[in-house]
Amino acid sequence: MAKSTITYWNALDKANDNKWEVIEGTDGLLEELTLAIDEKTGDYTRLTRFKPGADTKSFGAKSHDYPEEIFIIKGRLYDEAFDKWIEAGNYASRPPGELHGPFKTDVECVVLEMSYPSQSN
């Protein structure tokens, strides 16, 4: 099986705000929108939207046993693990096990994430 497909549409258009899902435990300050997923392997492409004031400190830092890529589409995000503000245009290709986060932001930030659980260690 392959990732799901869809024709052109604008995920950032306000008319599509109802498609975003609030991430539990974030007081509505973080939302996600899965753009494509391979139900068999778990590989997915997703947008995460951090609203101003979002802070994931309560979740702590994270790592995965699979690679992932991120691209900052809009805004900026502070990554405590790297002691760095990452801004629109920043890209990272994370190897399995790389520690990242927690994150916080003072402005709306949209992150594109491509994750590959099928490549787990």
CATH code of domain 31-119: 2.60.120.10
Place of tokens 């753009």: 35
Supply the pLDDT for residue 1: 63
Tokens of 33: 């929108």
pLDDT over 70 percentage in the chain? 99
Q: What is the mean pLDDT of the chain?
A: 96
Supply the pLDDT for residue 2: 86
Per-residue pLDDT reduced to its tens digit, 1-12 = 688 988 999 999
| CA–CA distance, 121 with 75 (Å, rounded to integer) | 32
Identity (one letter) of the amino acid at 38? D
SS3 label, residue 102? coil
Per-residue pLDDT reduced to its tens digit, 27-71 = 999 999 999 999 999 999 999 999 999 999 999 999 999 999 999
User: Is pLDDT above 80 for 72?
Assistant: yes
Q: Which residues of 28-60 are buried (b: 16+ CB within 10 A; e: fewer)?
A: ebbbbbebeebeeeebbbbbbbbbeebbbeeee
Per-residue pLDDT reduced to its tens digit, 74-119 = 999 999 999 999 999 999 999 999 999 999 999 999 999 999 999 9
